[in-house]
């Protein structure tokens, strides 16, 4: 599948894969480093909250600002800034200072959410441009079948890259932390950002909406679009609730692996890697199920995640917990690409960057709430008790997806809804 992609898309895909792998090195190093220095569930949860709360609010503004600018090298500057911030975090793990860690993690989170949103939007745009050179002249609502197929293949590869990194990144991160320590693992993460900057230095990020369209007007256009499309609004609200409980387990997993299962840093990395392996399988299943309704895929993915958390609560050993993690990963690998596909199909291409930023913000703000919830549950009960609560609520969240009005959307179909809302958007957007 990769060989069929144009060179620009291959370069984007390579950069995205390297970035996700490095991000997992940093994720594992920071989570273990903070816990080892503080031995506190609240402090560990605070790390995740810092990466989600302000980034969720500020990343869409950064995306609108970058899309407004005509300067070249937007991606390169984003990734070089992340490299510098990650190097700073390495220093703060050597000479531990929790407030400084939280500040740098917050700044890094803002850039990370924005960069991922722009990567997804650029992937869709480049896929359309390379397969349908006349698309821009005909307008947004005239995507031909070849362009639609190219965009779906590119998005499928992007999702597979994400799940591949999720499958192997945590395990490599765990091995790195055990072998050379958290600070060195973070420096390795910093070098991956430099590599991404080099790969994407020539990729433009500007989206032309007329010379007089300000950053504020670009943000208003995205908000208006969400408000005017009931399917999209209901989808995002339902996913927001689900993510809160999905994410409540993440800060708990560090303590669960080290203190409950007595599996150490390597066990924590293996647990995350098992989830990632399942997610890679789920992502591959998603690419094959091109005619399955997205609503049913969202439901099944959510159900599997909930059942996995209940499996964590009952698991007596790391091996059993890893089996549950594979099941949950499969659900994750089906559920998240289904959400991305539905949002893209309900959104015109010129708004993809901002809507992907909105999804990224959702995936940052809601976990921040979930992280605080998970840390609190551990304090008042136990790691297994926290897993039971998350599993029960996540399983029940499946019922909410049953009511989503997404019957016409298919994982591999062209966006009928996008074309239907475009005239309304054109009348109301600034």
All domains in the chain, ordered by first residue: 2-428 (1.20.1250.20)
Instruction: Report the interhelical angle of 7-38 vs 74-94 (nearest 10°).
Output: 20
Q: For residue 426, what pLDDT is reported? A: 28
Residue among 308, 310, 245 at smallest CA distance from 276: 308
Q: Token match 């010129």: residue?
A: 350
List, in sequence order, every residue forming a beta bridge with 188; answer none if it has no partner.
none
Percentage with pLDDT > 90 across the chain? 11
Lowest-pLDDT range of 184-188, 318-322, 381-385: 381-385
Phi, psi of 35 (to 5 degrees): -65, -40
pTM beyond 0.85 = no
Q: For residue 343, what pLDDT is reported? A: 84
Using the CB atoms, write b or e for 218-231: b if 16+ within 10 Å: bbbbbebbbeebeb
pLDDT tens readout for residues 1-38: 455 566 777 888 888 889 888 888 888 888 888 888 88
Phi, psi of 97 (to 5 degrees): -145, 100
List, in sequence order, every residue forming a beta bridge with 293; answer none if it has no partner.
410
> Tokens standing for 323?
């089996």
pLDDT tens readout for residues 237-280: 888 888 888 888 877 888 888 888 888 777 887 887 788 889 88
414 pLDDT above the threshold of 70: no
How far from chain centre, in Å, is Cα 371?
16
User: What is the C-alpha to C-alpha distance for residues 19 and 5, in angstroms, rounded to an integer?
Assistant: 19
Lowest-pLDDT range of 64-78, 190-204, 294-308, 336-350: 64-78
Q: For residue 309, what pLDDT is reported? A: 92
207 vs 383 pLDDT, higher one: 383
Q: For residue 92, what pLDDT is reported? A: 92
204 close to 72: Cβ distance less than 8 angstroms: yes
Q: For residue 416, what pLDDT is reported? A: 40
For 327-346, what is the mean pLDDT? 85
Q: For residue 136, what pLDDT is reported? A: 47
424 pLDDT above the threshold of 60: no
For 157-167, what is the mean pLDDT? 76
Burial of 114 (0-12, 13-18, 19+ CB in 10 A): buried
242 close to 377: Cβ distance less than 8 angstroms: no
Q: For residue 122, what pLDDT is reported? A: 80
For 412-429, what is the mean pLDDT? 35
Beta strands in 37-170 (DSSP E): none
329 pLDDT above the threshold of 60: yes
57 pLDDT above the threshold of 50: yes
430 close to 217: Cβ distance less than 8 angstroms: yes
108 pLDDT above the threshold of 80: yes
Averaged pLDDT of the chain: 78
For 25-53, what is the mean pLDDT? 78
Q: For residue 83, what pLDDT is reported? A: 94
Instruction: Report the interhelical angle of 318-345 vs 145-180 (nearest 10°).
Output: 150
How far from chain centre, in Å, is Cα 213?
28
Please provide the distance, in angstroms rounded to a whole number, between the alpha carbons at the two ends of the chain.
40
List, in sequence order, every residue forming a beta bridge with 99; answer none if it has no partner.
none
Q: Token match 């309900």: residue?
A: 346
The DSSP result for 223-250, as a single string, is HHHHHH-HHHHHHHHHHHHHHHHHHTTH
pLDDT tens readout for residues 61-88: 888 777 776 676 678 888 999 999 999 9
115 pLDDT above the threshold of 70: yes
408 pLDDT above the threshold of 70: no
Q: For residue 153, what pLDDT is reported? A: 67
Lowest-pLDDT range of 63-67, 112-116, 211-215: 211-215
313 vs 337 pLDDT, higher one: 313
Q: For residue 209, what pLDDT is reported? A: 57
- When pLDDT is cut at 50, 70 and 90, the band that residue 151 belongs to is low
């Amino acid at each position: 599948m990769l060989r069929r992609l144009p060179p620009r898309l291959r370069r984007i895909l390579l950069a995205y894969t390297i970035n996700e792998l490095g991000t997992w090195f940093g994720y594992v190093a920071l989570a273990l480093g903070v816990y080892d220095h503080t031995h506190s569930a609240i402090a560990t949860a605070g790390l995740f909250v810092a990466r989600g709360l302000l980034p969720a609010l500020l990343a869409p503004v950064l995306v609108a600002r970058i899309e407004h600018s005509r300067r070249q090298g937007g991606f390169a500057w984003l990734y070089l800034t992340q490299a510098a911030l990650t190097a700073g975090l390495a220093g703060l793990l050597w000479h531990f200072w929790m407030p400084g860690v939280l500040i740098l993690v917050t700044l890094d989170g803002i850039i990370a959410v924005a960069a991922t949103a722009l990567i997804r939007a650029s992937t869709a745009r480049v896929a359309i441009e390379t397969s349908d050179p006349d698309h821009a002249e005909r307008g947004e609502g005239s995507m031909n079948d070849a362009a639609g197929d190219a965009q779906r293949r590119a998005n499928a590869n992007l999702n597979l890259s994400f799940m591949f990194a999720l499958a192997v990144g945590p395990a490599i991160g765990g091995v790195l932390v055990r072998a050379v320590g958290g600070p060195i693992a973070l420096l390795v993460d910093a070098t991956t950002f430099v590599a991404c900057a080099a790969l994407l230095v020539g990729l433009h990020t500007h989206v032309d909406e007329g010379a007089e369209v300000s950053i504020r007007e670009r943000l208003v256009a995205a908000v208006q679009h969400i408000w005017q499309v009931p399917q999209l609004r209901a989808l995002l609200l339902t996913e927001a609730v689900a993510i809160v409980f999905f994410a409540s387990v993440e800060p708990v997993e560090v303590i669960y692996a080290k203190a409950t299962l007595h599996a150490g840093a390597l066990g924590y990395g293996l647990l995350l890697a098992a989830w990632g392996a399942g997610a890679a399988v789920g992502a591959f299943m998603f690419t094959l199920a091109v005619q399955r309704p997205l609503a049913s895929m969202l439901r099944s993915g959510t159900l599997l995640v909930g059942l996995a958390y209940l499996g964590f609560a009952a698991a007596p050993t790391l091996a059993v917990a890893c089996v549950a993690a594979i099941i949950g990963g499969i659900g994750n690998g089906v559920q998240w690409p289904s959400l991305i596909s539905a949002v893209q199909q309900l959104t015109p291409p010129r708004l993809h960057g901002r809507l992907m930023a909105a999804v990224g913000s959702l995936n940052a703000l809601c976990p921040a709430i979930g992280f605080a919830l998970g840390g609190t549950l551990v304090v008042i009960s136990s790691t297994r008790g926290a897993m039971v609560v998350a599993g029960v609520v996540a399983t029940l969240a499946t019922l909410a997806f049953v009511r989503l009005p997404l019957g016409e959307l298919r994982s591999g179909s062209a966006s009928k809804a996008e074309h239907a809302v475009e005239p309304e958007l054109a009348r109301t957007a600034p």
